[in-house]
Structure 1
Amino acid sequence: MSIQFTNQKSILVTGATGKQGGAVISALLEAGAGETHTILAVTRNPAAASAKALEAQGVKVFKGDLNDVPAIFASAKSVLGGSAAEIWGVYSVQTAIGQGASAESEERQGKALIDEALANNVKHFVYSSIDRGGDSSYDNVFPQVQHFKSKYNIEHYLVEKAKNQMTWTILRPVAFMDNMTPGMETKIMATSWRVAVKEKPLQLVAVKDVGYFAAQSFLRPQDFASKEVPIAGDELTLDEASAVFKRKVGTEVPETFQFLVRFLHWMIADFGAMYRWFHTDGFRVNIDSVKRQHSGLLNFEEWLERESKFIQK
């Protein structure tokens, strides 16, 4: 008979070696949760350097695929000592664009995680969604952006299914500063911003701050149960962001050919629809309110200095 080796609460983090999942684990560790909780990291490649770095910090890393959620839970329980082991919390994040992902796969995976969490008596479920217009986000679908609609469907599925069995928190980040990295990704983001968002400000957030609120949701579930948490750290036009970038990095935000980005928006329709939504509707997070909850919230300049890969640390 297998015996669970710990009585600590166990938190299962999906996307553990990605931007969001990695930020969640970092925030948990910084808060000392490694001493009070068992952190379970799901990754497609446990041999990767990022996965090995997590293991070195005491995180339990194992292989998993969101297309087979029951296998993820079985593997997590095996890591904990056997089928009788309990998983207390789950951090759920999926991708809808790139590497074969779609809004359909995102919704399927998101709902499967909810189902399996309930089947395994998980107590607290944190879902990373997106802001869709401030306080009215839960009711806003915006079907023209398919991965907004899929997130809407996952949120409503979570709230309906969880009821009194499992508490939940829905995180609502805006556009990620961390999508700016040296290379083509930044050029595509900046040029998309210019051609689609135009002169309108865009709200941005550091994944580090998403990680902070996710960690707090697990460490203080009584304060975050049944709560939607909007998260943004700055609001800038592209020209304003470029001025900050030039002041800190020495050059303006790099861009690429506009015709290339327009073609990309046409070829990946959901990507283009999202950027058009940034202009027609846009995020509506009350940043001052977020700052009152998290004094360490990063604006764009602070993110460039402390977290980005543009400045040597």
Structure 2
Amino acid sequence: MANTTRRIVVSGATGKQGGALISSLLSTPSQPFEIYALTRNKTSKSAIALSSKPNVFVIEGNFDNPSAVFRQVDKPWGFFSVTNPMNAKKEEAQGKAMTKAAVDAGVKHIVFTATDRGKNSDEDATPVPHFASKFEIEKDIVEKSKLNGGTWTFLRPVAFYENLSNDFLGKGFISMWRLNGNQNKLKLISTKDIGKVAAEAFLKADQAQYKNKAIALAGDEISLDEAAKVFKEETGSTIPETFSFVGKGLKFALHEQLGIMFNWFKTDGFGVDAKQCKETYPFLKDFRAWLRTESAWKK
């Protein structure tokens, strides 16, 4: 490898964001990275598939022992951080610990997937716990990066298309959306598209567009009625959902993870302009394109 090669650690490497990031980098001619793909299980089918790719090295570890992750990489330059939102307090603690381990190891550029928090994303953590945890991780990355002269890029996506899955939780998601009203518009994005933007954030880390910048991302803004119409046109079926009382039950049972968030969708909502995003990143998929190419209903 040339002396200009930079080493990056990719968390969630076998997931959709991390996987799309790695694929995007590998498809870039003369990409300047050695990619250290972090996985919990090096012997999994997806991890083994990754290890067969050029310039990809699979490492085993998790966010509970971050220093052990970075001990496996000599002089890492970059780190892609994507955290688990199911427990906001744990997410914040683990995210901050991984940042510390990355900075202590000498990482110079961190790309972190946070979330769009409406019109005041830079100042308002919002009442949504797993939005607030990412807000705190963002601030921590800024402070810790100053310690070694490092830089950062924050990706702030909206809700994921992948929440519309053909299973119980996917049907529940639609039912909770309907509780906000059939005309309530929701902004959505493909997780794979987030990974593609992350690749650009590493490839162009020194450019003004990405250096110490937060980038809000959305692929579409659509009401439930509009989504149901598109779904019918593309699949020939009605959009899958469950009873309204199940949606209410999910909001109650998973109040911290889902209830507060769906209430916020109705009262505040994401602030990013989906049309402007697509002007900057034409590859961002709208709902119809996602259904056709990535969803469980793709043909």
Shared fold, TM over 0.5: yes
Please state if 1:21 is matched with 2:21: no
Maintained 8 Å contact 1:205/1:234: yes
Instruction: Provide the secondary structure at the position in 2 that maps to 1:139.
Output: coil
Structure 2: distance between partners of 1:130 and 1:69: 23
Query: Which residue in 1 is equivalent to 2:205?
Result: 221
Instruction: Provide the secondary structure at the position in 2 that maps to 1:221.
Output: coil
Task: Report Cα offsets for 1:122-142 as digits up to 9, x if no partner.
Answer: 1110010000014x2010111
Residue 242 of structure 1 aligns with an amino acid whose one-letter code is A
Q: 1:94 aligns with which of 67, 83, 98?
A: 83
Which stretch shifts more, 279-288 or 55-64? 55-64
Query: Which residue in 2 is equivalent to 1:243?
Result: 229
Identical amino acids, percent of aligned pairs: 40
RMSD value over aligned CA atoms? 1.8
Query: Residues 32 and 55 from structure 1, CA distance in 2 versus in 1: closer, same or farther, beyond 3 angstroms?
Result: farther
Structure 1: distance between partners of 2:20 and 2:231: 23
> How far 1:49 sits from its partner (Å)?
1.7
Q: 2:271 aligns with which of 269, 284, 299?
A: 284
> How far 1:199 sits from its partner (Å)?
2.6
Structure 2: unaligned runs, 5 residues or longer: none
> How far 1:10 sits from its partner (Å)?
0.9
TM alignment of 1:17-166, pairs within 5 A = 17-32=14-29, 35-58=31-54, 59-75=56-72, 77=73, 85-97=74-86, 102-134=87-119, 136-142=120-126, 144-163=127-146, 165-166=149-150
Query: Residues 8 and 187 from structure 1, CA distance in 2 versus in 1: closer, same or farther, beyond 3 angstroms?
Result: same
Please state if 1:300 is matched with 2:287: yes
Which stretch shifts more, 174-183 or 102-111? 174-183
Task: Report Cα offsets for 1:36-69 as digits up to 9, x if no partner.
Answer: 3111111112222221221222321121110110
Maintained 8 Å contact 1:27/1:208: no
Maintained 8 Å contact 1:123/1:167: yes
Structure 2: distance between partners of 1:240 and 1:300: 10
Task: Report Cα offsets for 1:128-173 as digits up to 9, x if no partner.
Answer: 0000014x2010111x211111111111111122126110000000
Structure 2: distance between partners of 1:39 and 1:149: 30
Query: Residues 32 and 46 from structure 1, CA distance in 2 versus in 1: closer, same or farther, beyond 3 angstroms?
Result: farther
Please state if 1:275 is matched with 2:277: no
> How far 1:311 sits from its partner (Å)?
1.7
Structure 1: distance between partners of 2:183 and 2:107: 45
Which stretch shifts more, 274-283 or 302-311? 302-311
Structure 1: distance between partners of 2:144 and 2:32: 29
Which stretch shifts more, 58-67 or 216-225? 58-67
Please state if 1:265 is matched with 2:251: yes
Residue 132 of structure 2 aligns with an amino acid whose one-letter code is K
Structure 1: distance between partners of 2:255 and 2:214: 28
Structure 2: distance between partners of 1:108 and 1:240: 39
Task: Report Cα offsets for 1:59-94 as digits up to 9, x if no partner.
Answer: 21121110110111113x2xxxxxxx2101000010
> How far 1:235 sits from its partner (Å)?
0.3
Task: Report Cα offsets for 1:269-305 as digits up to 9, x if no partner.
Answer: 1211111111110011122221222122211111111
> How far 1:197 sits from its partner (Å)?
5.7
Query: Residues 197 and 53 from structure 1, CA distance in 2 versus in 1: closer, same or farther, beyond 3 angstroms?
Result: farther
Residue 226 of structure 2 aligns with an amino acid whose one-letter code is E
Maintained 8 Å contact 2:4/2:32: no
Please state if 1:205 is matched with 2:189: yes
Aligned length: 294
Instruction: Provide the secondary structure at the position in 1 that maps to 2:121.
Output: helix
TM-score, structure 1 length as denominator?
0.89
Structure 1: unaligned runs, 5 residues or longer: 78-84
Q: 1:11 aligns with which of 8, 26, 39?
A: 8
Structure 2: distance between partners of 1:133 and 1:268: 22
